[in-house]
Copies of this chain bind each other. A is one copy, B any other.
Amino acid sequence: MMNKRRGLLVVFSGPSGSGKGTVLKEAMKKCENLQLSVSVTTRAPREGEVDGVDYIFYSQEQFKELVSQNGFLEWACFCENYYGTPRARIEALLSEGKDVVLEIEVQGAMKIREKCPDAVLIFNLPPSMEELKNRLEGRNTDAPEVIAKRLETAVWEISQAKKYDYVLVNDTVDNAANTLLAVIEGEKCNINRNEKLLAEYK
């Protein structure tokens, strides 16, 4: 008999405007075994953000305390705010057999790759660069320089997609969510993840 199988640690990245958050939400609606890891941050909550849902909001002192306890899988500082992926909850979920998704940017993903070689890294692409530009411009809330900067960042991020294990195109949210779930399901069948299973057939 098989023991309860450990879940898969999934890193999901993509440029701003690629719609990765929406794809993830849709995928989680379709598959309750998929759980999002909530990041810890020291930045102030924005309007509508809920503690424990959007982020776990920590003081700088709390954050540094958890760093000193080796409590983060990875952490970084952007614009004087700290962001981190807390280890304990992820470990608990994986042990229960849940698949845990980290929605993090490229540098964070590479740190996870190093620390957790078992993680599967998936990159979410917009349908095209033109479409990405339209989406970023369509937000209207940002100044042209901000949009230009974001597009530049997106170009760099997409150039890093080759370091990921899988790439998917967010043409429609439904398609992309189904594809994401297929990638996760398929990866669990990867021969390199099934040595124990094969050993049961002797």
Contacts of A191 in B (CB 8 A): 123, 161-162, 164-167
A168 at the interface (CB under 8 A from B): yes
Interchain CB contact under 8 A, A166 and B189: yes
Stretch with Cβ within 8 A of B (4 or more), from A80-88, A140-148, A180-188: A180-188
Given the interface pairs A161-B191, A182-B181, A183-B186, the reply to whether A167 lies near B125 with Cβ below 8 Å is no
When all copies of this chain in the complex are counted, the total is 2
Select one of B129, B189, B195 contacting A179, CB under 8 A. B189
State how many angstroms separate the Cβ of A29 from the closest Cβ of chain B.
18
State how many angstroms separate the Cβ of A12 from the closest Cβ of chain B.
12
Interchain CB contact under 8 A, B190 and A179: no
Select one of B123, B169, B187, B198 contacting A167, CB under 8 A. B198
Given the interface pairs A185-B182, A189-B179, the reply to whether A198 lies near B165 with Cβ below 8 Å is no
A28 at the interface (CB under 8 A from B): no
Question: Nearest B residue to A1 by beta-carbon distance?
Answer: B128
Question: Nearest B residue to A190 by beta-carbon distance?
Answer: B166
Contacts of A200 in B (CB 8 A): 128
Complex Cα distance, B191 from A166, in Å, reads: 5
Contacts of A162 in B (CB 8 A): 191, 195, 198
Contacts of A190 in B (CB 8 A): 165-166
Contacts of A123 in B (CB 8 A): 191
- B-contacting residues of A (Cβ < 8 Å)? 122-123, 125, 128-129, 155, 158, 161-162, 164-169, 178-179, 181-187, 189-191, 194-195, 197-198, 200-202
Could you jot down 23 A-B contacts, CB within 8 Å? Answer: A122-B189, A123-B191, A125-B201, A129-B201, A155-B202, A158-B201, A161-B198, A161-B201, A164-B191, A165-B190, A166-B189, A166-B190, A167-B191, A167-B194, A167-B198, A168-B189, A169-B197, A179-B186, A179-B189, A182-B185, A183-B189, A184-B186, A185-B186
